[in-house]
Amino acid sequence: MAYLLNDLDHACHLLRQGALVAVPTETVYGLAGDANNPEAVRRIFALKGRPAEHPLIVHLASTEVAHRWARHWPEEAERLAQAFWPGPMTLILPKAEHVLDVVTGGQDTVGLRVPAHPLLRELLERCQRALAAPSANRFGRVSPTTAAHVLAEFAAEDLAVLDGGSCPVGVESTIIDLSTTRPRILRPGRIRAVEIERVLGRSLSEERADAPRVAGALASHYAPERPCWVLDRQELLARIEAAHAQRRSVGLIHVDPELNGMPGIAATCPIPFQQPEVWEERLYASLRELDHPGIDLILIEAPPRLPGWEAVQDRLQRATAATRGDWP
Ligand code: TXA
Ligand code: MG
């Protein structure tokens, strides 16, 4: 049985023994194990059901510690670290010699992040271990943003879950690849491209990431089990009516309060403000809340396609990518 844990010393003890602990981060919960212990890292892959070639992010207590995990530390890494760590940013750098192949999926680069969540920072300092941690969900599912989500995800497993409340950012870290000549974003997140470009003093490469390197780049990642559509207002209204006529129950994620009372809607997750940060914070929790047997399909009122909304648009695209074909 997965269980809640509030004792940091016990969490340290488990990690030092090579056991896994689910930990809160400011982005999403992570499934953490000692990054220097190959058995622990293998356990992460097994528990998640994740293919071995998908690398893990290493979480560290400070930028100084992060230096030791990269083969060299470019000036641009230092500038980004000073601007955004501790925080929701992962840097991809050529790996140091000692970094285990199981962590990097055999690649020559490693993903590094100094997280901001106070409980995890305290754990990293007390434990004196680097923690490899993917998001604490089964491979391909929606990332967890509360301890309860993690318990539900791994209910039958013997897994300790450190409860740090709900994750304030709500989507995974921005991943910046610094291993090639021109930096590029592999996964959009709370730290935006414009902010990164401002710090770097040059523009990022637009080149797209190749799918196998980034698990999150698979089309149907982060998907709920129910079919899921993102629709502009007019189409949304038509689809809600159609669903009602077909006696299909709709779970709705929306901003417009007027949509609330429409017949056929079985459950709603209102987003209180039309702001990307608010969408980011609520999106995964909303998808999880609506992904239950009383709901036949999930409809989402399309948020703006504007600068600053990249992370929301990216996760929505992935959440809906598994919904193939037309309206049933
Ligand atoms: O916010 C986050 O980043 C969360 C929290 C727990 O820190 N972690 C997270 O981990 O989202 P995960 O494993 O679900 O996603 C990590 C992504 C994957 O898409 C992986 O392929 C990519 O980072 N990644 C890790 N190391 C990499 C590397 N060396 N090169 C390219 N991509 C890498
Ligand atoms: Mg993930």
Angstrom distance (rounded) from CA 31 to CA 134: 6
Question: Rounded to the nearest whole angstrom, what is the distance from the C-alpha of residue 219 to the centroid of ligand 2?
Answer: 13
The CA–CA distances, whole Å, from 248 to 171, 251, 278, 311 equal 30, 10, 29, 30
Residue 14 CB partners (closer than 8 Å, separation 6+): 20, 21, 160
Question: Is the CB of 111 within 6 Å of ligand 1?
Answer: yes
pLDDT per position as a tens digit, 89-143: 999 999 999 999 999 999 999 999 999 999 999 999 999 999 999 999 999 899 9
Question: Is the CB of 173 within 6 Å of ligand 1?
Answer: yes
Nearest ligand to the CA of 184 is 1
Question: Rounded to the nearest whole angstrom, what is the distance from the C-alpha of residue 296 to the centroid of ligand 1?
Answer: 31
Nearest ligand to the CA of 137 is 2
Write the burial class of residue 307 (CB in 10 Å: 0-12 exposed, 13-18 middle, 19+ buried).
exposed
The position carrying tokens 């077909």 is: 246
Residue 212 pLDDT > 50, yes or no? no
Question: Is the CB of 109 within 6 Å of ligand 1?
Answer: yes
Question: Is the CB of 174 within 6 Å of ligand 1?
Answer: no
Following CA atoms 289, 165, 56, 205 in sequence, which dihedral angle do they give, to the nearest 10 degrees? 80
Nearest ligand to the CA of 153 is 2
Question: Rounded to the nearest whole angstrom, what is the distance from the C-alpha of residue 135 to the centroid of ligand 1?
Answer: 8
pTM: 0.95
Count of C-beta atoms within a 10 Å radius of residue 142: 26
Average pLDDT score, the chain? 94
pLDDT per position as a tens digit, 266-313: 999 999 999 999 999 999 999 999 999 999 999 999 999 999 999 999
Return the structure tokens found at 285.
Answer: 């929790």
Instruction: Give the CA angle between residues 310, 312, 316 to the nearest 5°.
Output: 115
Question: Rounded to the nearest whole angstrom, what is the distance from the C-alpha of residue 257 to the centroid of ligand 1?
Answer: 36
